[in-house]
Structure 1
Amino acid sequence: MNRAGVDPARVLAVSPHLDDAVFSAGALLTGLVAAGAEVTVLTVFTGSVTDPTGFALACQTDKGLADDVDYMALRRAEDVAAGAALGTTGFHLPLLEAPHRGYHSAAALFGPVVAGDEGCPVAIGEALTAFLDERFGGSVDLLLGPQALGDHVDHRHVRTAVDVLAHDRGLSLARWADTPYVLRAGAETPLGDPRYPTEEELDAKVEACAAYATQLGFQFDGTDAMVRALRALPETFYPPLPVDARTR
């Protein structure tokens, strides 16, 4: 309990990939922690695959990693370090990223759902429900997830599953503007209200984002560019955050 004798609010952020929640909402997450909330980040697509091939293998080798590296184990370790910088608690579901589910090119990730992947949102929803029941007794005070800006299929599937969970359990839901997609030329305008982080929150966010070393060159053109971009970008949420979260 906090000094007022009240249990801290419970917040669950559902991240498609190992970086999405931190890139998109890291300042809010660390701000909620500082205010006494219990903040959990649950990442959906984190499963390792032995001996990946084709496009799935290229997703690691094009970042300078050898083909015998367990790419997802490396990324999970980065996520643990990012969570330590924010003060959040992280959990990883073993579902497989889209390149391991029949999406065989970068363009395919942003196109129609491929045959055989239609049931993915249901599988995500079942895993989220089981996690919510086991860890939180079926409910949290705030559920966070992606708007799915950029149209990555994994983000779309997670948004669908999170929306269903919020509806079925009557949970307060806010969706973040997916970063770095929101920074790219021609990006869709995010829905919702901007939240302008404090300097302390920004410091923690950029430190956490720097932990994702395998992603920074690909997503931001390097660490310095990431710091500049994220320090200039407010976090945006739709529907609006609860007042306590919005004003911290």
Structure 2
Amino acid sequence: MPLALALSPHLDDAAFSAGGVLARMAGEGWEVVVATIFTATVPEPRGFALACQTDKGLPPEADYMAIRRAEDLDACAALGARAVHLPLREAPHRGYHSAAELFAAPRSDDMAHLQAHDAIAPLLQEARPDLILAPQAIGGHVDHVLTVRAIQLLDPRAPILWWRDFPYITRADTPRRPFVAMMDRFPETELPTDPAAKHAACAAYATQLGYQFGGPEGLARALATTEGRERARVQGEAPVLARAA
């Protein structure tokens, strides 16, 4: 059975950006693994890190990341995928103190890409994926940028589908494309998708829906604007299933 490995910065990125193709591949007999990099619980968050939790309606004492990991298990079940949670801290726990800083250049002292490299490397060795899916880092969120840097350091042998980061691709205020020169070297293809399974997976991230979309109805509207389509840049020789249907 061929194996596809999605390397997701956060607990929702793979489903939001490539959930349709992941579900389609699972339905076609692929083993699908979604490995999320920044999932660590950080006890007693403060400042901006705490605000990222309370602005979603969660009390300070809640284990925000445990709630999110549980949502991810439900989302991956909807996709037919297996979830893997890697133990790195999200950017607000690494010295980023505002939303503006999250979408600026990574801090010079932020070595999360090296930590991500060390966390992903044994997973690649164990899983030996036939296909990797990963973000282009459209929007420029530092965790997405450092995920791409980690993958560049790893230089995996498997072909890569670099997905278009949703919902950032729909937002005029987050147009940054820090890897555009690299991504433009790779051909872009439209992917076969399962829109219903993607919607179900995205809806599982209940803590994020109000903040990102204004609620479940907003999620449905945002997904409707894509007409169920997903596109990716193809590095290497993509499997037949990963080409436009």
TM-score (norm 1): 0.88
Indicate whether 1:124 and 2:111 are aligned: no
The answer to which of 203-212 and 187-196 deviates more is: 187-196
1:87-128 Cα deviation digits (max 9, x unpaired): 1000000100000000011111111222420x2211111110
- The aligned counterpart of 1:74 is 67
CA positional deviation for 1:230: 1.3
Residue 3 of structure 1: aligned partner: none
Instruction: Please tell me whether the aligned partners of residues 192 and 244 of structure 2 are also in contact (alpha carbons under 8 angstroms).
Output: no
For residue 243 of structure 2, the aligned residue among 214, 232, 246 is 246
Asked whether the 8 Å contact 2:140–2:176 carries over to 1, the reply is: no
Alignment correspondent of 1:101: 94
CA distance, structure 1, for counterparts of residue 65 and residue 112 of structure 2: 19
Q: Does 1:147 align with 2:136?
A: yes
Look up the equivalent residue of 2:166 and give its one-letter code.
T
Q: Which residue type is aligned with residue 86 of structure 2?
A: L
Greater Cα offset, 171-180 or 222-231? 222-231
**Which of 25, 41, 52 lines up with 2:34 in the alignment?**
41
SS in 1 for 2:243: helix
Structure 2 unaligned segments of length 5 or more: list them.
Answer: none
Give the whole-Å Cα distance in 2 for the aligned partners of 1:163 and 1:238.
Answer: 15
Which residue of structure 1 lines up, in the alignment, with residue 6 of structure 2? 13
Root-mean-square deviation (CA, aligned residues, Å) is 1.7
Which residue number corresponds to residue 189 of structure 2?
A: 193
Partner of 1:157: 146
Distance 1:21 1:223, change over 3 A: same
Separation in 2 of the partners of 1:161 and 1:131? 13
User: CA shift at 1:196, angstroms?
Assistant: 5.4
One-letter identity of the residue aligned with 2:242: A
Q: How many aligned positions are there?
A: 232
Q: Specify the alignment match of 2:201 in structure 1.
A: 208
Aligned residue type for 2:59: A
